[in-house]
Chains A and B, each alone.
Chain A
Amino acid sequence: MSELLVTRAVSRYFGGLAAVSNLNLTVRSGELVGLIGPNGAGKTTVFNLLTGVYTPTSGDVMFEGKRVNGLRPYKMARIGIARTFQNIRLFRALTVLQNVQVAAALRARQGFWSAVLRTPRQVHDDAAIRAQCMELLDRLDLAPYADTRADALAYGVQRRLEIARALATHPSLLLLDEPAAGLNPNEKSELMSLVERLRDEFSLTVLLIEHDMRVVMGICERIYVLDYGEIIAEGAPDAIAEDPKVIAAYLGTEEA
């Protein structure tokens, strides 16, 4: 398996505070990797570094062998890194189909003028994008909601739409920021099988942040544990669950 995403000694400082320091991650093609850590450990900051929201203070982010740090978020999306948000960020007043269409637009060849003049090629192109998006919705069981406004959806469906929208950019790397947050146990199980199924069907590589240990231990093949902005452990779920450093980070240590 080739290395899809590699970070080399990436650090990010806010003033004097090191939110992330000396981060070395390696994610290989087709893997399903988890990133866990206590609250405030810097997990979302890592996502923001990988998606171009923040530029690393030092170190390199390599994607498909190319150095990509400093790229704006929309360019990251265009080279194949898509994400979902911890606090759902859908286009609330748009329909489900339109939400997905916006993300698919990065593959549209049309420009402003062809959109304004409604050239036959542009109309054709639009119809093709709509069809692709409908198919995508169908594969995530969202097709019945295609014309529903995003803010009218149930919470669990909104989470699924976030994933659908990210997939519409045709990513090779999918970053999921707490996809199970706020879901009930039943929905969590569905989510786990969904993520595994999508990875196979779309030949994706997935990196996910999650608090729910059952989800993380259930689907991740490898786990990185982050605490105070540093990786404190890395390995298979079973090994992580027994690692004393991880237990200390989550539960604290007994004073000797």
Chain B
Amino acid sequence: MLWLLSRALGAAAVLFGLGAMSVWLTHNVETYYYLVLIQCGIAATLAVSLNLINGITGQFSIGHAGFYAVGAYVGAAWTMLWRPIFAKELPWLEIGSLPGDVANLIIALALGSLAAAITGLIVGTPSLRLRGDYLAILTLGFGEVIRVTLLNIDAVGGARGLAGIPTLASTGDLAAFWVFGLLIAVSLLTRNLMQSTRGLTWLAVREDEVASDAMGVDTTRVKVTAFVVGSTFAGASGVLYAHFFTGISQDIFGMDVSIMITTMVVLAGTGSVTGAIIAGFALTAMPEALRFLKDFKEYRMVVFSLALIIMMLTRPQGILGHAEVGFGSFVRLYQRLRLGVRRSAR
């Protein structure tokens, strides 16, 4: 059980560091940049979670915003609608203090991701018999079904959505802690899985489904697991979004969001976790960075699409292809540069 202890200590150290960073960021960074950073973190989490489905298992899902929405609405529903009912009996569910906020956020996260996981299972099981274009169309349609369903549920505000969701985790001091904690969790999960033999069977499904089936891989199970795990993390990101931006409505979970997440995964180089994180940050920060084009606001999205087209033409395999960026790649880059310097000196 020593490994469990060392893991727990490592996790505690990382969490403490994240918490400290989060508090520092809140007090030293302008709110605008802080919010962009949080948005980047959420986008990167969505991209890494979709990467499990599209990049690693090779399915083509373009309805990820649907699971994101389910998480956001269920999480917000807990805090705004269900929590007050339980709080009458259980005083520790009161919000406003750190322990109460953390407890509520954890409950919201659990419910939101569970709801998204169940939705993923319900959608995934029948639809994963489909492949390629057919699966893409089905997931796209499903994302819209979720959005339109939310539009028509009066309890969650219908077209108005839910506004004034209490900011949990003590007025957002810990927003970065939760968002980046979740991003680290999903990235580590993917990395560990990919280093195991079990994870290789996921890649095998992407490479050749017929052959993996013939080699004893239960392909349906792999695909459904990928779908459920991916949806779970999308749901959790939704819960965080709802609580840090304090307002949600169905139109922010539309098809464009799904397509944006898919674009991130494709840009990343399907299968690469670090690529998905970079793409998540880049595609979220880019429209913000282009805000200086004040008088030419309408050209903002043009620059954005141009960047995508150039990318497709020059690097169709994505930013990183199948590769990952790690500490080792910097060491190699340094060595190559030094070697180059030495050669040119001669």
Q: With the chains together, A102 CA to B215 CA distance in Å? A: 7
In this complex, which of A74, A77, A117, A120 has the most chain B Cβ atoms within 10 angstroms of its Cβ? A74
Q: Which of A73, A76, A115, A168 has a CB less than 8 Å from the CB of B199?
A: A115
Q: With the chains together, A119 CA to B193 CA distance in Å? A: 12
B196 within 8 A of A: yes
Q: With the chains together, A51 CA to B215 CA distance in Å? A: 10
Given contacts A73-B214, A85-B211, A89-B210, A108 and B203 within 8 Å (CB-CB)? no
B126-134, B167-175, B217-225, B252-260 - interface stretch: B217-225
Main secondary structure of the interface of B (DSSP, over half): helix
Would you call B201 and A105 a contact (CB within 8 A)? yes
CB distance from B185 to the nearest CB of A (A): 10
Q: With the chains together, A130 CA to B197 CA distance in Å? A: 9
Q: With the chains together, A64 CA to B217 CA distance in Å? A: 22
A7 within 8 A of B: no
In this complex, which of A72, A73, A82 has the most chain B Cβ atoms within 10 angstroms of its Cβ? A73
Question: Inside 8 A of B203's CB, which chain A residues have their CB?
Answer: 91, 93-94, 98, 102
Question: Inside 8 A of B199's CB, which chain A residues have their CB?
Answer: 115
A110 within 8 A of B: yes
Would you call A106 and B196 a contact (CB within 8 A)? no
CB distance from B142 to the nearest CB of A (A): 24
Q: Which of A92, A117, A120 has a CB less than 8 Å from the CB of B207?
A: A92
CB distance from B260 to the nearest CB of A (A): 26
Question: Would you give 19 A-B contacts (Cβ < 8 Å), ordered by A?
Answer: A73-B213, A74-B216, A77-B216, A82-B215, A90-B211, A91-B211, A98-B203, A102-B215, A104-B197, A105-B201, A106-B215, A106-B217, A110-B197, A112-B193, A112-B225, A115-B192, A118-B196, A129-B197, A165-B215
Question: Inside 8 A of B295's CB, which chain A residues have their CB?
Answer: none
CB distance from B278 to the nearest CB of A (A): 20
Question: Inside 8 A of B207's CB, which chain A residues have their CB?
Answer: 90-94
Closest 10 CB pairs of A and B: A106-B216, A77-B216, A91-B207, A115-B196, A89-B211, A103-B215, A115-B198, A102-B204, A73-B213, A105-B197
Identify which of residues 56-95 in chain A touch chain B, using a CB-to-CB cut-off of 8 Å.
72-74, 76-78, 82-83, 85, 89-94
Question: Inside 8 A of A168's CB, which chain B residues have their CB?
Answer: 215
Would you call A122 and B3 a contact (CB within 8 A)? no
Would you call A108 and B214 a contact (CB within 8 A)? no
A126 within 8 A of B: yes
Given contacts A91-B203, A105-B200, A116 and B208 within 8 Å (CB-CB)? no
Question: Inside 8 A of B118's CB, which chain A residues have their CB?
Answer: none
Q: In the complex, which range does the number of interface residues on chain B fall in?
A: 20 to 34
A interface residues with partner B (beta carbon < 8 Å): 51, 53, 72-74, 76-78, 82-83, 85, 89-94, 98, 101-106, 108, 110-112, 115-120, 122, 125-126, 129-130, 165-166, 168-169
Q: Which of A53, A73, A92, A115 has a CB less than 8 Å from the CB of B193?
A: A115
Question: Inside 8 A of A51's CB, which chain B residues have their CB?
Answer: 214
Q: With the chains together, A92 CA to B195 CA distance in Å? A: 18
CB distance from A191 to the nearest CB of B (A): 20
CB distance from A137 to the nearest CB of B (A): 15
Chain A, Cβ-Cβ closest to B1: A120
Would you call A74 and B192 a contact (CB within 8 A)? no
Would you call A116 and B322 a contact (CB within 8 A)? no
Given contacts A106-B217, A169-B215, A119 and B3 within 8 Å (CB-CB)? yes
Question: Inside 8 A of A77's CB, which chain B residues have their CB?
Answer: 213-216
B189 within 8 A of A: yes
Given contacts A73-B214, A74-B213, A74-B216, A101 and B200 within 8 Å (CB-CB)? yes
Q: Which of A83, A102, A116, A122 has a CB less than 8 Å from the CB of B189?
A: A116
Question: Inside 8 A of A101's CB, which chain B residues have their CB?
Answer: 197, 200
Would you call A91 and B197 a contact (CB within 8 A)? no
B125 within 8 A of A: no
Would you call B196 and A120 a contact (CB within 8 A)? no
Q: With the chains together, A94 CA to B215 CA distance in Å? A: 15
CB distance from A108 to the nearest CB of B (A): 5
Q: With the chains together, A129 CA to B195 CA distance in Å? A: 13
Given contacts A115-B192, A129-B197, A91 and B208 within 8 Å (CB-CB)? yes
Q: Which of A72, A74, A98, A120 has a CB less than 8 Å from the CB of B200?
A: A98
B246 within 8 A of A: no
Would you call B213 and A72 a contact (CB within 8 A)? yes
B212 within 8 A of A: yes
Q: With the chains together, A125 CA to B196 CA distance in Å? A: 9
CB distance from A255 to the nearest CB of B (A): 43
